[in-house]
A = this chain, B = another copy of it.
Amino acid sequence: MNNNSGFIEKLRSSGLRPTKQRLEICKLLFDRKKTFHFTIGDLSKILKKETNKKISLATIYNTVHSFKKKGYLKEISVDREKSYFDTNTSNHHHFLDISTNELIDLKEEDVDNIKIKKSLPGKKIKSIEVLVKIENNN
Copies of the chain in the assembly: 2
Interfacial chain B residues near A49, Cβ < 8 Å: none
**Given the contacts A83-B80, A95-B120, A136-B123, A130 and B114 also touching, CB distance less than 8 Å:** yes
A58 within 8 Å of B (CB atoms): no
A1 within 8 Å of B (CB atoms): no
B122–A111 touching, CB < 8 Å: no
Interface residue tally for chain A (C-beta within 8 Å):
39
Is the contact region of chain A dominated by helix, strand, or loop, or is it mixed?
A: strand
A126 within 8 Å of B (CB atoms): yes
Q: Which of the residues B77, B124, B134 comes within 8 Å of A77, measured between beta carbons?
A: B77
9 CB < 8 A contacts A-B: A77-B77, A80-B83, A95-B120, A97-B120, A107-B118, A114-B130, A123-B134, A123-B137, A127-B132
